[in-house]
Amino acid sequence: MTRFIERHPAWALIILIAVALLAWLVFAVWPPALEDAIGRKKIFLNALFNGVTLGGLYFLVASGFTLIFGLMRNVNLAHGSLYLFGGYVGYGISAATGSWILSFVVAFIAVALVGVLLQVLVFRRMEGQDLRQTMVTIGLSIVFADLMLWAVGGDFYQVQTPSWLVGPIELPLMTAVKSSGEAVYLQYPLVRLVIFAASVVIGVAMWLALNRTRIGMMVRAGVDDRDILAATGVRIQLVFVLVFALGAGLAGIAGVVGGTFQSISPGEDTRFLLASLVVVIVGGMGSIPGAALGALIIGLAEQLGSVYIPTYAIVVTFLIMVVVLALRPQGLLARR
C-alpha cells in the first residue's frame, strides 16, 4: 500500500479523492441541486448496490475462469456452459427438494465432476497446445449448449429464494429526509446482500488457500513454472485436476446464484462467458485479486450505466476494456 503511494503519488491521490467522493455520495443526504442534476439518491444507491452485488456474481464466474487459465494456460471458452449447467442443476435440486443450500452443494459437486472429466479425458491429452485446447472448448460449448437445450428446452427458470431470505431489509443509509424531518432509509433485497457476502467469503477463502496452504503453494508454483514444479516431484496432474474441479465448481455455484438473482435460459452461457472474459482482461489474466477488482468495476459500470445512460451501458463496459488494453495490456493487477 505505502509502496503504491510512493510509486504512483498522482494515482494514489486520484483514487483517494474518488473514494472520498463515493463515501460522501453514499452517506450524505444529497442537496436538492444534486438531486435535480442526476436524479434521486435512492436510484443511485440501488444502482450502486446492484452493481456491487452483480460484481460478486461476476467474481464467482470469473475467478474459476482465471484460476484455470493461470495454472493450465487453458482459455476455457466452455466456462459459460458450466455456469449454465450449474444453474440448471441447482434449479432441479431446489425444485425437487425445496432446499436452497443443498442446490449449491449439488451444483458445485456436479459441475466439478464435469470439470474433472474434461481435464482427465480431453485437456490432459493436448497439454501445452493452447490454441487447440481453446478450439476444443469452443466445440464443447456448442455441444453442451445444444445438449442442454435438448434436455431442458428454451424456457426461463428461476431458482426459488428461500423464505428466510425473501423480502427487503432496511439499511442504515439515509436516502432522503421527509418534510416532517423523519429520515427515509434504503430498502434492499436481503438475498443479494447475503450472496454478496458469501462471494466475498469465497474470495477471501480462495486467497487464503492460495497464499497460506501447501496446496496453494503448489498451485502458485505451477502458475510460475509448471515444468520445474513437476520436476520437484509434485504430482502436477493431480493439482491440475483439483484446480479444474474447483474452477468448474465455482462456475456451478455462480449458476445457482445467477438463477436466484435473475433467471437462467439458453444464451446466458454466452453472456457470462463474455462477462468473465471482460473481467479477466480488465483485472489481469490468472490473478484472483484482479478478477475481484475487474468484477467490481464491470458490475458497477453495467448497473450505473444502465441507470444513467441506458442505451450505451454495453459500450461503457467495452470502453473500460479498451482503455485498460491501451494503457495496461496485461490487465490492472497482473504481475508481469
Beta partners for 176?
184
Give the nearer residue to other proteins in terms of CB position, either 263 or 330.
330
Site for other proteins in 64-103 (CB under 8 A): 73, 75, 77
Binding mask 4-43 for other proteins (x = CB under 8 A): ----------------------------------------
Using alpha carbons, select from 52, 78, 65 the residue that is nearest to residue 134: 78
What number of other Cβ atoms are within 10 A of residue 114's Cβ? 22
Supply the DSSP string of 125-186, one letter for each residue.
Answer: GGTT-HHHHHHHHHHHHHHHHHHHHHHHTT--B-PPPPGGG-SEEEEEEEEEE-TTSPEEEE
Residue 133, CA distances (Å) to 191, 220, 230 in order: 38, 22, 21
- Which strand (E) or helix (H) includes residue 5? helix 2-7
Give the nearer residue to other proteins in terms of CB position, either 277 or 332.
277
| Per CB under 8 A, 117 contacts other proteins | no
| Per CB under 8 A, 139 contacts other proteins | yes
Give the nearer residue to other proteins in terms of CB position, either 69 or 100.
69
Site for other proteins in 237-276 (CB under 8 A): 270, 274
- Residue 171 CB, shortest distance to other proteins, in Å, is 31
Binding mask 270-309 for other proteins (x = CB under 8 A): x---x--xx-xx---x------------------------
Report the interhelical angle of 236-261 vs 190-212 (nearest 10°): 170
- Which strand (E) or helix (H) includes residue 95? helix 79-97
List residues near other proteins by CB under 8 A.
Answer: 73, 75, 77, 128-132, 134-136, 138-140, 142-143, 145-147, 150, 270, 274, 277-278, 280-281, 285, 310-315, 317-318, 321-322, 325-326, 329-330
